[in-house]
Amino acid sequence: MKCKNRVLNSKCAGEEKRVGTRTVFVGHRPVSETDAYVEQKFCDNRIVSSKYTVWNFLPKNLFEQFRRIANFYFLIIFLVQVIVDTPTSPVTSGLPLFFVIIVTAIKQGYEDWLRHRADKEVNKSSVFIVENAKQVKKHSEKIKVGDIVEVKADETFPCDLIFLASSNDDGICYVTTASLDGESNFKTHYAVRDTTGLQTDDDIDSLTATIECEQPQPDLYKFVGRINIYRSNQEPVARSLGPENLLLKGSTLKNTKKIYGVAVYTGMETKMALNYQGKSQKRSAVEKSINAFLVVYLCILVSKATVCTTLKYIWQSNPFNDEPWYNQKTIKERDTFKILRMFTDFLSFMVLFNFIIPVSMYVTVEMQKFLGSFFIAWDKEMYDEEIKEGALVNTSDLNEELGQVEYVFTDKTGTLTENSMKFIECCIDGHKYKDGISEVDGFSHTDGPLRYYGKAEKCREELFLRALCLCHTVQIKGGDNVDGLRVNQECWTYISSSPDEIALVKGAKKYGFTFLGHEADYMKVQNQKNEIEKYQLLHVLNFDPVRRRMSVIVKTSTGKFLLFCKGADSSIFPRVQQDEIQQTKVHVERNAMDGYRTLCVAFKELTQEDYKKINDQLSEAKMALQDREEKMARIFDDIEADMHLIGATAVEDRLQEHAAETIEALQTAGMKVWVLTGDKMETAKSTCYASRLFQTNTELLELTTKTMGDSDRKEERLHELLLEYHKKLLQDFPKNSGKLKRSWTVSQEYGLIIDGSTLSLILNPSQDSSSSNYKSIFLQICLKCTSVLCCRMAPLQKAQIVRMVKNTKGNPITLSIGDGANDVSMILEAHVGIGIKGKEGRQAARNSDYAVPKFKHLRKLLLAHGHLYYVRIAHLVQYFFYKNLCFILPQFLYQFFCGFSQQPLYDAAYLTMYNICFTSLPILAYSLLEQHINIETLTSDPRLYMKISDNAMLQWKPFLYWTFLGSFEGLVFFFGVYFLFQNSSLEHNGKVFGNWTFGTIVFTVLVFTVTLKLALDTRFWTWMNHFVIWGSLAFYVFFSFFWGGIIWPFLKQQRMYFVFAHMVTSVSTWLAIVLLIFISLSPEILLVVFKNAKRKNHQKLPSFDA
């Protein structure tokens, strides 16, 4: 799609691309007679999300598949088999390969077909376009930039539109962007004032205007443009356009009868299309291990082939070995150059031994991951009754990574806490107002009895409550009417993107001031005397994480201009009269200590002149096409100054249930939990204590603005602190720093607290070169602390922290969990990103690899699912290498007894079927169902998680063990049968067996041994395991009889004809098979017994030893 997109862009946008802005002629009407209207070329409105067409599917899909290194390798092997005269027919490796390729192609083709269908549905849906004052029905894909489109209620916008007019006189429409960013609240969009009146087709057709806007860019919340409206004989009016004027494709019109809009971005240039670009692929540590093992096996393969080729030519140097009279070469063979012959021989050996690297492993691993991930989504313990959703798996590639996590980065709000805000108390001019009755449902209609701790002046109190009622972006959603004409209190609710605001508005309501909603430009508030007050909303200075505050400018009915501002204390205090701070500050700090989220409320009265100035500045800034953001920010900064502090609010964000237990479990499991939050230090700290991230005995090291002291000596102080902490920690961890990285130290635990500004000081040292090593010292401190709290973090800083830890020595596996849009960057950055299906929209869940409803589900996800998946896949990988090693080793040994002639030991059918049929299902069932430890035990004993830490089952030691086991068994198989065949008359009637019987005996022993080996490893025998294990063996026997029971017409040689049947009539063979299987398995049995006995002894010891 990316590719397609680029093509379209270059084709459609053409020259425009370079200019940086585009000019759209509304309704394709030229602005003046003199300027000839030039038809511009833009993208058409066709959405193309499909990758392939009927024609390019085959080549393109094949090309993409063979770009994978494994597929390419198998293709090469296949081609060698086709071209060179090799011992095994191309079918043996071609069949599995093409099976894989075809299955993948079908899967991708089907997915693409679905996309085609979805595209078609979107592209062929009908829209109404206003042309020459008439509505024309068209397919959506026919929309061109500049078309005026009419959209009715509950329809989705077919492309990105500039909102011109709606059925509402005030030029407002409501939109929900649920399918774009998951925020299901209604967003208000505004039409440009000059076009709001054009409510009919005729009116809208009379509009002559051009829109200048930036070229398409993916940021959903950014848009800069300008509309020039031309009226006859007048100077054109220019109005600025912002995101509030832009209706995005994919969002839905709500509560508005219809709107007119002009298409500015169409098709692949819409913000939605630009946003849906594939996430970068994350690869798991297991995959890296597989690749490492693969290299080892490739080396084994090449060395085997080299050894055989070399020995072959040494052996053949004797002419009667090379070409005895009974076995002469063809003329062609004799005539080939020796070098070429050697090369072909080498390739032939490669082909003969290539089964050591199985195609089927990739298939099985993929299948295991794909099917296995269903268990996460199916888990009813991770289902949340409240939101009626369970866990969501967005990628199945990382299942096993869940069992390897070393660092957990968690967001606080909405992740550790509920993010269901409850208004607790407020203070007005230092007087505390607290609700006497604890509220259960968070929404009560009657004014509860209030306990006042002293009372502020009435007017201050009312001012404060009015501020709460006005300074927000909350909307009201009622049954069918939003106009607020018939206010029925029973059926409307507040909607906002931030739950804090709702809590505040509800809080205000408790004290008698009820926000009744918007009516055109006016906000209506019902005061304590049940009178309705109206305020004209002039400007909303929106919240942003940098300013950490928001303001509104309203005009009262008496004509006063008021600015209300609410925000974090740190961003409000510097902007109010200093003498007012003290009394409120006490409250704020105490509230923060209690773990409440505090906001300060300030106000400022503006004179008419002030307002006019501000209005002009704002309009000018809004008009700007370049650097609008910065300009706006600067003006906001100017406006929000010299305010008067009225009071502060405290809102409680309760800890999620079991959050503390979960954190404790994660820490016990050897994970280090870091909390990264945008919240204030005090609040975050108390949450950390509440969630037991910090224990009472944890010594806290603080690196915050507070400890940094005044601004001049910041860097020096930071340096001192860093060195001090570093020294302290090093003394405490004298030697064991490297070895016992994750062991459980009983010694002093340390916790680190750092805030955003200090972090940026560390990460981006101002200019001093001496400070550049801050980062490494800081990192060392961090890694030694059991828990770290980072507060006041910007989203990008969260990602920075994750990246920093991710790239430390040893590349620990990191996991980020968060619920909000501000966590997306860290979710994408970490090895595993977990989204909480929280209240702050779905963006986090959407960008995550896994999404769970609650933080507590992390416990089962990691400790049980992660652990099991890791054990399963690690065993799967090791087993696959093992079973192919002992499959191919006898074949290699046989070369020493057949004159290095590449004679295969096994029949071609066996070679092909071994990995596909005989031994594939048991391991797949194992890797899906195995529970070597019960899920309950895993969840309740987090220490078990440490057993598999550091990729323990895929280190070189276990790998060598498996390789040794495979080699041992291969040797037993081959030489056992070799000695048996010292006398090849093994039947009771003296008849002799040939080479194919030899191979079949080895193969039978092999199949039984590797299957029984798996049976020995299986600790959880469900009926499915029984079915596939015994079924596979039965199938092998059945197949062998069948394969040898018929003269196959399509086969050139009937090698296996009755070979198996004759084999089973021989008692000697039976005895040999039983013996060899037993010899092969006994080391494994003994080892398991010893291990069990050893562990038993260990368990007597009080300390747990992993």
Partner 1 sequence: MAVNYNAKEEADGHPSGVGASGGAGKSRKPDNTAFKQQRLPAWQPILTAGTVLPAFFIIGLIFIPIGIGIFVTSNNIREYEIDYTGTDSSSPCNKCLNVSWNSTPPCTCTINFTLNQPFETNVFMYYGLSNFYQNHRRYVKSRDDSQLNGDNSSLLHPSKECEPYSTSENKPIAPCGAIANSMFNDTLELFRIDNETRIPITLNKKGIAWWTDKNVKFRNPSGNTNNLTALFQGTTKPVNWPKPVYMLDSEADNNGFINEDFIVWMRTAALPTFRKLYRLIERKNNLQPTLQAGKYSLDITYNYPVHSFDGRKRMILSTISWMGGKNPFLGIAYITVGSICFFLGVVLLVIHHKYGNRNTSADIPN
Residues belonging to the active site: 411
d(CA 74, CA 358): 9
Binding residues for partner 1 restricted to 1034-1063, rule: CB under 8 A? 1047, 1051-1054, 1057-1058, 1061-1062
Shortest distance (Å) from residue 898 CB to partner 1: 4
Shortest distance (Å) from residue 1035 CB to partner 1: 22
DSSP labels, 496-564: -S-HHHHHHHHHHHHTT-EEEEEETTEEEEE-TTSPEEEEEEEEEEEEETTTTEEEEEEE-TTS-EEEE
Shortest distance (Å) from residue 204 CB to partner 1: 27
Residue 581, interface with partner 1 (CB under 8 A)? Answer: no
Q: Which of 91, 342, 804, 1079 binds partner 1 (CB under 8 A)?
A: 1079
Looking at the Cβ atoms of 240 and 1018, the one nearer to partner 1 is 1018
Q: What is the contact mask toward partner 1 in residues 285 to 324, using x (rule: CB under 8 A)?
A: -----------------------------------xx--x
Q: Are 245 and 163 in contact (CB under 8 A)?
A: yes
Half-sphere exposure of 868 (CA within 13 A, CB side): 27
Shortest distance (Å) from residue 1062 CB to partner 1: 6
Shortest distance (Å) from residue 936 CB to partner 1: 10
Helices (H), 125-170: none
- Closest to 144 in 3D by CA, of 16, 271, 20, 25: 25
Binding residues for partner 1 restricted to 450-479, rule: CB under 8 A? 477
Looking at the Cβ atoms of 258 and 560, the one nearer to partner 1 is 258
Q: What angle do CA 187, 191, 193 make, to 5 degrees?
A: 135
Shortest distance (Å) from residue 161 CB to partner 1: 19
Q: Which of 71, 168, 176, 266 binds partner 1 (CB under 8 A)?
A: 176
Q: Which of 495, 523, 568, 813 binds partner 1 (CB under 8 A)?
A: 495
**CB environment 352-363: b (16+ within 10 A), e (fewer):** bbbbbbbbbbbb
Looking at the Cβ atoms of 453 and 1078, the one nearer to partner 1 is 1078
Q: Which of 993, 1003, 1008, 1036 binds partner 1 (CB under 8 A)?
A: 993
Residue 992, interface with partner 1 (CB under 8 A)? Answer: yes
Q: Which of 8, 12, 77, 87 binds partner 1 (CB under 8 A)?
A: 87
**CB environment 767-780: b (16+ within 10 A), e (fewer):** eeeebeebeeebbb
Q: Which of 280, 558, 1097, 1103 binds partner 1 (CB under 8 A)?
A: 1097
Q: At what angle do helices 628-639 and 608-623 cross, to 10 degrees?
A: 170
Residue 7, interface with partner 1 (CB under 8 A)? Answer: no
Q: Which of 115, 590, 717, 806 binds partner 1 (CB under 8 A)?
A: 115
Residue 124, interface with partner 1 (CB under 8 A)? Answer: no
Q: Which residues contact 712 (CB under 8 A, 6 or more apart)?
A: none
Residue 413 three-state SS: coil
- Closest to 547 in 3D by CA, of 662, 646, 636: 636
d(CA 721, CA 702): 9
Strand partners, 815: 408, 832
- Burial (0-12, 13-18, 19+ Cβ within 10 Å), 1098: exposed
Residue 280, interface with partner 1 (CB under 8 A)? Answer: no
Residue 218, interface with partner 1 (CB under 8 A)? Answer: no
Residue 111, interface with partner 1 (CB under 8 A)? Answer: yes
Binding residues for partner 1 restricted to 839-898, rule: CB under 8 A? 897-898
Residue 489, interface with partner 1 (CB under 8 A)? Answer: no
Q: Are 945 and 862 in contact (CB under 8 A)?
A: yes
- Burial (0-12, 13-18, 19+ Cβ within 10 Å), 69: exposed
Report DSSP state, residue 1020: -
Residue 1102, interface with partner 1 (CB under 8 A)? Answer: no
Q: Which of 79, 114, 723, 730 binds partner 1 (CB under 8 A)?
A: 114
Looking at the Cβ atoms of 526 and 997, the one nearer to partner 1 is 997
Q: Are 243 and 223 in contact (CB under 8 A)?
A: yes
d(CA 672, CA 787): 6
d(CA 570, CA 648): 12
Looking at the Cβ atoms of 386 and 710, the one nearer to partner 1 is 386
Strand partners, 382: none
Q: What is the contact mask toward partner 1 in residues 322 to 351, using x (rule: CB under 8 A)?
A: --xxxxxxxx--------------------
Q: Which of 64, 203, 366, 389 binds partner 1 (CB under 8 A)?
A: 389
Q: Which residues contact 407 (CB under 8 A, 6 or more apart)?
A: 671, 672, 674, 805, 812, 813, 814, 815
Residue 980, interface with partner 1 (CB under 8 A)? Answer: yes
Q: Residue count at the site for partner 1 (CB under 8 A)?
A: 122
Residue 994, interface with partner 1 (CB under 8 A)? Answer: yes
Residue 126, interface with partner 1 (CB under 8 A)? Answer: no
d(CA 682, CA 753): 10
Give how far the C-alpha of residue 8 lies from the chain's centroid of Cα atoms, to the nearest Å: 28
Shortest distance (Å) from residue 1094 CB to partner 1: 10
Residue 487's alpha-carbon distances to 456, 465, 484, 491, in angstroms, are: 31, 21, 5, 9
Shortest distance (Å) from residue 307 CB to partner 1: 17
- Closest to 161 in 3D by CA, of 141, 139, 146: 146
Binding residues for partner 1 restricted to 917-936, rule: CB under 8 A? 929, 931-933, 935
Looking at the Cβ atoms of 299 and 898, the one nearer to partner 1 is 898
Residue 959's alpha-carbon distances to 51, 293, 361, 400, 734, in angstroms, are: 40, 8, 16, 18, 33
Q: Which of 58, 106, 295, 1067 binds partner 1 (CB under 8 A)?
A: 1067
Binding residues for partner 1 restricted to 140-159, rule: CB under 8 A? 154
Residue 178, interface with partner 1 (CB under 8 A)? Answer: yes
Q: Which of 7, 82, 387, 723 binds partner 1 (CB under 8 A)?
A: 387
Residue 998, interface with partner 1 (CB under 8 A)? Answer: yes
Shortest distance (Å) from residue 615 CB to partner 1: 34
Binding residues for partner 1 restricted to 677-696, rule: CB under 8 A? none
